[in-house]
Amino acid sequence: MKRLLTIVMMVFSVLFMQAQKALIDKGNEYFNQYSFDLAKDYYEKALPSISAKEDLAKVNYQLGYCYKELGNTDKSEMYFRVAVKNYVRGVIKPDVLLFYADALRMNGKYEDAIDYYQQYLKYAPQDHRAKSGKESCKIVPTWISRPTRYKVTNVSKFNTPQADFSIVWASKDYRTVYFTSSREGSLGSRDNYKSGQKFTDIFEVTQDRKGTWSSPTPITGGVNSEDDEGASTVSLKGTDMYFTRCKAGKKVDEPCKIYLCSKKGNAWGQPVLIELPGFESAEIGYPALSPDDKTLYFSAEVEGGYGGLDLYMAQRVGTSSKFTKPINLGPKINTLGDEVFPTVREDGTLYFASDGHQGMGGLDIYKAVKKGKDFTGVENMKYPINSSFDDFGIIFNGKEESGYFSSNRKGGKGSDDIYSFILPPLQITMNGVIYDTTNIERKVPLKEAKITVYADGAVVSELSSNEKGQFTMPLQKDKVYEIKGEASKDYFSNSIKFSTAKVEYDTAFNVILNLGRIPRIIELPNIEYAYDKADLKPESTVSLDALVKTLNDNPNITIEMRAHTDFRGNDDYNMTLSLARAKSCVDYLISKGIKPDRLTAKGFGETEPKTVTAQMAKEHTFLKAGDVLTEDFINKLPDFGKKEICHQLNRRTEFSVISTDYGIEEETKKAEEEAAKKGNAVIQHNDGDDF
């Protein structure tokens, strides 16, 4: 009895293993035919009975790949994780680490993805996909935390639980669009075992004058069939359409091709296969026309490319369906991954989707500027146009920064959905306040101060501060602004410069202008000279450059440069040295463009010892406000260090304002001459009579 039971168990085990092997073999058969939706069903049926580590690794690898191609990132991640856990060298390729990292990245798990990219790079240190993916995981969190200004909205009117994607303009007034869909009601109602969806057709939607879109309907004529009609593009006049058609089934797997169809009345005629020399047996799709309709851009996978699907361009021969030999767009555009869904705007900028450039995960949308015959400067459109899922097929509403694109990101109606986008106007503002800072410890807002705004050197606005000293105005991008504040002639004017060239987000520039009353004498800090000489030390230029700005902000003042020494040394020598030092300062100001007749140099030697201010007394507690640092005062100090501090305070450079009306007479005369010219102008009516 025991022997019989053992035999039965052995037979059952053999039959069970044969059934398991049959399921895996059938899954492999469909996998090799790219029928991923069918292949996954057989693998999943076989999976519960698999115990061998090698088989677990291989079947989970195949399942992960199936779901990767079907766009299910959650299940792709799950099966690749099991495959990695059961990894056996020689049974599955090390690229399971790359695919697992890609799935983690598409699911927004960037830190985990970096770890597996690093593991894969140990096997393939030069693989661009892993290096780009790893670097992407480092920068993408920043993109998400600081998104671009684009506003993205799911277009519920267009979308269904099925795939809806690849929207294109069908009329030059931007009121009719076509898009591809696997929704109910399409002719291609069979299951596409490669995509896991129904076969797709092209649908039409129109917009009325109130901006309301109609319900999508299949386009009429010969375009739609029982096969897959994919991405399309329509000529500027709306009379020619290029579209992708893929013939596929359980026993059919022909390469996708591009067809040309012309409009006859309100319906499309029968499509004609376009001829692309050298691409007869290649996988071709995703057509896009240049703005002049003469160049066709498309994706293809042929020998000699850079990776998977590459972008190519070909010139149309007359009005026929023939084209010149296609040209690859080169390594700046194409990568080891796939480049698909091209679009060319009116200004020649190329937009396309890629999973090979640095991006957020899956397909991202990029743009490249055309220079001569080449495209350069590939730039990721970033979040929220892009997500960690597949984002592709962008179109623009003419020159406007608005339009549509497709994405299978979470939160939509189905697998692929159509989204609208718009870039709101950039809001740049200036919020300013102007203060009287004569007393540095008590800032007082200046009411009715004059604020002059310059943009790129020209006056663009004149403002007046309110009772709180405040002023505000909108600004423009890519301008260099100078904001100048003025009060009465008893105040120094002041200005500040800034640029809006690099502003990418709504920004408010907070401007503070400090104006002080013009005092009798102003000391310049940190003016130093070579020992016992009049040569300025390099560090002195910081203070003198600030004086240059003051003089430029206040073109009507003239000043006297005043240099002082300590009392050590001969009186005549000190007087000569101080004058030479004052002249050095004047020479520097002249070298910076200040007119010589606004400057006077004067040396005081040791004749005007410094009077201690309250601020100086705070810094040097052995002094008190009002002390005069005479020779007698300093000599009475018992400490050598304190004496040196006093000598240093006496060695100073100052300036005083001599006048505040420099050039005013000339300005007044010029203004009067201009007024006189305007007053003498002859104004003519249409009848020619003078008055």
Question: Which CATH number goes with the domain that contains 465?
Answer: 2.60.40.10
Q: Is residue 681, in this structure, part of any structural domain at all?
A: no
pLDDT at 514: 95
Helices (H) and strands (E) in the chain, counts: 13, 35
Residue that terminates a domain, selected from 515, 533, 565:
515
| Ramachandran assignment for 153, one of left (phi > 0), alpha (psi -120 to 50 degrees), beta (any other) | beta
For residues 216 and 297, membership in a common domain is answered with yes
- Identify the CATH number of the domain in which residue 412 sits: 2.115.10.20
Phi, psi angle pair for 437, to nearest 5°: -115, 30
Residues of the chain with pLDDT under 50: 4-5, 8-16, 678-691
Q: Is residue 678, in this structure, part of any structural domain at all?
A: no
For residues 473 and 533, membership in a common domain is answered with no
Q: Average pLDDT of the chain?
A: 89
pLDDT at 688: 30
Q: Is residue 88, in this structure, part of any structural domain at all?
A: yes
Q: Is residue 685, in this structure, part of any structural domain at all?
A: no
pLDDT at 11: 43
pLDDT at 9: 47
pLDDT at 674: 65
pLDDT at 188: 57
Distance between the two ends of the chain, CA-based, in angstroms?
Answer: 134
Q: Is residue 691, in this structure, part of any structural domain at all?
A: no
- Identify the CATH number of the domain in which residue 75 sits: 1.25.40.10
E-only strand ranges, 292-387:
295-301, 310-315, 327-328, 339-344, 350-354, 364-371, 374-380
* Consecutive H or E run containing 463: strand 458-464
DSSP state letters, 560-579: EEEEE--S-S-HHHHHHHHH
For residues 63 and 164, membership in a common domain is answered with no
- Identify the CATH number of the domain in which residue 654 sits: 3.30.1330.60
Contacts of 141 (CB under 8 A, 6+ apart): 110
Q: Do residues 364 and 383 lie in contact, with contact meaning Cβ atoms separated by under 8 Å?
A: no
Range of the domain at 464: 428-515
Rounded (10°) angle between helices 571-591 and 541-553: 60
For residues 192 and 265, membership in a common domain is answered with yes
For residues 216 and 296, membership in a common domain is answered with yes
Tell me which residue of 69, 73, 3, 84 sits closest to 30, measured CA to CA. 69
pLDDT at 190: 58
Domain count, the chain: 4
For residues 483 and 564, membership in a common domain is answered with no
For residues 501 and 549, membership in a common domain is answered with no
For residues 527 and 615, membership in a common domain is answered with yes
pLDDT at 118: 95
Tell me which residue of 341, 323, 171 sits closest to 239, measured CA to CA. 171
Buried b (16+ CB within 10 A) or exposed e, 284-322: bbbbbbbeeeebbbbbbbbeebbbbbbbbbbebeeeebe
Q: Is residue 215, in this structure, part of any structural domain at all?
A: yes
* CA distances in angstroms from 124 to 64, 128, 299, listed in the order given: 21, 9, 27
For residues 226 and 349, membership in a common domain is answered with yes
Tell me which residue of 497, 451, 500, 499 sits closest to 471, measured CA to CA. 451
Tell me which residue of 92, 34, 97 sits closest to 66, measured CA to CA. 34
**Model pTM?**
0.74
Residue that terminates a domain, selected from 484, 515, 546:
515
For residues 125 and 187, membership in a common domain is answered with no
From the number of C-beta atoms within 10 Å of its C-beta (0-12, 13-18, 19+), residue 276 rates as buried
Structure tokens at 683: 């104004």
For residues 410 and 485, membership in a common domain is answered with no
For residues 85 and 49, membership in a common domain is answered with yes
Q: Is residue 62, in this structure, part of any structural domain at all?
A: yes
pLDDT at 8: 44
Contacts of 140 (CB under 8 A, 6+ apart): 105, 110, 359, 360, 361, 383, 388
Residue that terminates a domain, selected from 515, 535, 561:
515
Q: Is residue 469, in this structure, part of any structural domain at all?
A: yes
